[in-house]
Structures are given as C-alpha cells and as structure tokens.
Structure 1
C-alpha cells in the first residue's frame, strides 16, 4: 500500500472516529442523556416527517434556481442532481468537497458544458453559498444586542467577530478590480512557500466572470437563495414544533447563524458532529432545554445532512446507469 493511500485511510478513520465521538457525546456535552433525547425524538409522527420532508425538498428546489442561473443552459432538475450528488460525496468522505466538485465537473462535461463554464459556475455558486452564510451570520450579529443579553451576548459577539471582516473584503474585491490584483498578489506571496500560484492574474479574471454571470442571473439567484434560507429556517422551526420543544424564532435564527458558521469549517465530512454539538450548545446557552434542543438539532441535521447521502447516492446511481446506457446506444449506432 503506497503512502498516499495509507494517509487517506488514516485520515478517513480519524475523521469517522471524531464524528462518531462528537455525536455520541452530544447529549452529555449539553447536560442531557440519550434516554432523554430519545424520548423527545419519539414524539415525531409520520405526518410530521412527511411535512418536514416536503419543506426540505422545497428548499432544495429553491436552491436549484441559483444553480441554474449560475450555469446558463442548466435545467433545474440537473441543478438539483448536482447539488444532491455533490453533497452525498462531501457528507461521506473527509475533505469530500473536492471529490464532490470533481464529480460535478464530470457530470457537467457529460451534459455538454465547457470547462470554462463549469469554472464560472463553481466560482459563482461558491461565492453565493459563502455570502449567504456570512449574510445570515452578519444579520444575527446585528440582532444579538437586541435579542440577547449577558454572557450569551458576549459569547455570540466573540463567535461572530471575524464575519464583518470577511464580508467587507469580499465586497471590496468585487467592487474594485485593483483590490482583486492586490489581494491576489498577497495570496501569491503567502502561498509561494508551498507552491507557485498566479492569483494576481487569475483573481481579476475570475472577478470579471463572476460579475458577468451575476449581472445576467441576479434575479433568480437572489430569489432562489432567499427562498432557500427562509425554508431552512422554517425547517428548523418545524423540527422543534413537531417535537413540542418551545424555542422562539429569534433564538432559532441565532442557532441557524451558528450552524451556518460551523459548516464553513469542514473538520469532519459535512461538519458532522461539530455542527450538532456547537449549535446545540449555543441553544442551551440561550436558555433552551438540553434534551429538547439536542433532539431538535438531530432531527434538523437528519434532513440537511443525513438524508442527502442516500438520496444523492440514488441519484448518482441513476445518472451513472443512464450514462452507460447512452454509451452503449452510441456504440450500437456506430456498429450498425
């Protein structure tokens, strides 16, 4: 076994152990037990699960408008396929985001799109996803002094403090080409120790591509992303409602911001374990019942993380089968 493969296996094993440990220790971390959490989760009815599934699917469909607008010519159905298959891979493998991106590139190329088109699609969707998360966090940061007080306010302020800096830097780069050149040059110098990059040239070109796509598709991008975020908040709220756990919408919005923040740090596949423990701890700090909020977050992540794996896996299997069938039909046509 070569060194690279051994390193990947070790990384996968460690990542899996960390994820499992975080999830197993979740109730204890917030002062509850699995018995108490299980009793709360047992309140979910079949009808409630159907409602939650509908809201989850509606959110994914809203996000497909963003994907379709980021790659002109892409249908919303194919956008949904890209989203779920990429997420399924990212949620299973350590640093699976790169593997999911490679898979999406293969799918897009098979559908007839160019490499440059996929590059623009990837840049815009990444920017919009990060910007939406930072936007939720920035809004929560602004609402913290109004909605919360005391130690909860101090903790939230420290947690969200770097966010305005990143938001300002992103706006600066998009608004001024000179800023893209300067930032690209600084990143080139920082990365020169590891490898040679050409970000001083590439970042301004990428900026132009992003702005061109946003100019033509900003309406479906904006509408789709806002609808997606509203439906994510609705799903989170419903998860607590069906469990009969009383948590106010302002507190849940803060929890959604914490969840968005933690998903930006992919320590484990899909940030599994990290998101559940961190967001549940934040809800408990804001006055939530430990067993109730742990159950609510597990139910929410069951849809936004766990469900994406089997659903995305099935869609990937169907796409692969259709690709093989199309390939056979082409060979038969040539032979005939």
Structure 2
C-alpha cells in the first residue's frame, strides 16, 4: 500500500520536480503519431527478442519463444507488486518446472541472468562515466555519489566472482551457509551443492557466452535506440553521449527497488539528470514518460496477457490436473 502511494506521488509530482506541468508535458506527448507509436513498438519488441537470446543461452534447452515468455511474465509481476522481483522469480520457477527443467537448472539460470543483467547495467554506467568529458555530465552522474550508490552492487559482484573463482571458494561458502542454516534447521548440504552449482554455471557460460554477450549488447543498443526515438518523435534533439548518460542513470536507478520496477524513482531521477545536462524540462519529462511507457508500463498488460495464454495452454495440456516436472 505504502509503495503504491509513493509510486503515485512520485509520478504525479514528476513535472513539478523539474519545473514544468503535466499540461505542458501532455501537449508535447500529443505530437506523436500512430506511425511513431508503431515504430517504437517494433524497436521495443526487437529489444525483448534480443534479450531472449541471453535467456535461452542461460538455460540449455530453453527456446527463445519460452525465454520471451519468461521475460514478459516475470516483468509483469515485478512491475506491479512491492518486492515483485521475488514474485516474478517464483512465477518463472514454476513455469520452467512445468517445462521439465530441474530446480538445479533454474538455480543456475537465475544466477547467470542476474549476473549478466548487473554487469550490463554497470557497463552502461562505465561507458557514461567515460563519456563525461564529452557530454559534460558530471552534474548528472557524479563519480563520487555514483560510486557510493554502486558500492553494495560492486561488493555483491565481487562475492560472486570469488565464488566462481574456484571450487574451494564455493565449498567454503556452502559450509558457512550450512552452519548459518543449521541454527534454524538440522540439515543442509550447501557445501556439496554449491560447488556443483558453480560447475554447472561455468559449463553453461563456456558454451553460451557468445549469444549471451551479443544478445545483451544488442538489447542495450536497442534500449538506447528506443530512448533516442522517443525524443526524436517528439521533436527533441539530444546528443548521443547525453542519451547514454540518461540510459546509464535509468539503468542505475532500476537497481533501487523501493517501488515496483523502480516506478517513480526512475522517471524523476532520469528526468532530473537530463535536465541538469541542459534538456528542456517539459520535453525531457515527456520523452522519459514515453520511454518508460514502453520499458515499464506496457510490460504489465502484455505480460499479463502472455501469462493468461500460458496458463490456458498449460491447463489444456494437463487436462486441468497438476503435474510434477521431471528432470531434463
């Protein structure tokens, strides 16, 4: 309830936060044509399709169509519920089990995709910081405050790298977790299962690093193209280095899960950053609202319909009876 109120308040106050009004923003948004909406939709779908290559390579045996289904349904849940990321993960776990994948396979898939997504976001931030002299973006993406915000993410990433560095590191992590879990439960075998998970993750990465890498790069390029097209169709011209900085701020703020999908926080923060770089407040607010309309809002109904279709097909396939997935 509180997160919903906070999200609504942030969205409602977005224009005021940068010195404009919804009437002005709405007038700018009214410039876009149906042809423009169609073009944005094509770029948005292309980005999702590119990301499906990452998902398919992260779970051997998963088709790109099913990867796209996981992406849309998981995002739909994550974008409407507080701490929705966990709920979306739970839904994706249930779906992969229905398709015959084991719990261990999904665990590796989750670890790989999470790692790739975090590294990709850090990569965009790194590129934006490197372009600071060109884009004069120190005010929008200050190195000091950005580094402070990234400290928990970098610490977690360092822990993952240490875990993957050697079997002994994975076993040590497992033994430590076994002792911790032992305070509440009698039995845990993470000292054995975590080294096996590490081996599985490395095996999948060695086999699928090319589609993972190329798919994620294509996805980020298409996200940047979508952001550029949003402003272009509204008659707003922003230099590419500035747009990269805006995308970096947007990617950075999605790491903050105060509200579902970062709604409100992302819009206000990204708009403020682009205004600080010289963008017109009303035009920038309109462009970011349009961009987030595709990357956040549209995922909810599309993902909801996709989930409904999947549930209907699954029910027909199983005759309405539950089924336990078998190991693949």
* TM value normalised by structure 1: 0.86
What is the distance in 2 between the residues matched to 1:182 and 1:140? Answer: 37
Residue 326 (structure 2) aligns with: none
Aligned with residue 246 of structure 1, among 237, 243, 246: 237
Residue aligning to 1:132: 120
TM-score by length of 2: 0.88
Q: Give yes or no for the alignment of 1:61 onto 2:49.
A: yes
Please report how far the alpha carbon of residue 327 of structure 1 lies from its aligned counterpart in structure 2 after TM superposition.
2.0
How many Å separate the matches in 2 of 1:230 and 1:214? 22
Structure 2 unaligned residues grouped into runs of 5+: 323-328
Checking the alignment, whether the CA contact within 8 Å between 2:7 and 2:259 is kept in structure 1 is: yes
Q: How many residues align?
A: 316
Q: Paired residue for 1:3?
A: none
Shift of 1:144: 1.9
User: Which deviations, in whole Å up to 9, do the C-alpha atoms of 1:25-56 show, x marking residues without a partner?
Assistant: 00000111111111111111100000000000
CA-CA distance at 1:226 after TM superposition: 0.6
Deviations 1:234-266 (A, max 9, x none): 001100000011211101101111111111111
- Indicate whether 1:276 and 2:267 are aligned: yes
Query: Matched residue of 2:319: which SS?
Result: helix
Equivalent in 191, 203, 211 of residue 202 of structure 2: 211
Greater displacement, 312-321 / 177-186: 177-186
Q: How well do the aligned residues superpose, as a CA RMSD in angstroms? A: 2.6
CA distance in 1, matches of 2:271, 2:92: 32
In structure 1, list runs of 5 or more residues that go unmatched.
1-12, 332-336
Name whichever structure is richer in helix by fraction: 1
1:115 to 2:103 alignment: yes
Are residues 1:158 and 2:145 paired? yes
Distance 1:125 1:81 in 2: 15
Once the two structures are superposed, the pairs formed by residues 65-144 of structure 1 within 5 Å of their partners are 65-144=53-132
Q: Which residue of 2 aligns with 1:315?
A: 306
Displacement after TM superposition at 1:59 (Å): 0.3
Contact 1:138 1:160 in 2 (8 A): no
Is the CA contact 2:51–2:216 (under 8 Å) kept in the aligned structure 1? yes
**How big is the shift at 1:178?**
5.3
Judging changes above 3 Å, is the alpha-carbon distance between structure 1 residues 265 and 200 closer, same or farther for their aligned structure 2 residues?
farther
Residue 30 of structure 1: aligned partner: 18
Structure 1 CA distance for aligned equivalents of residues 276 and 246 of structure 2:
11
Distance 1:163 1:141, change over 3 A: farther
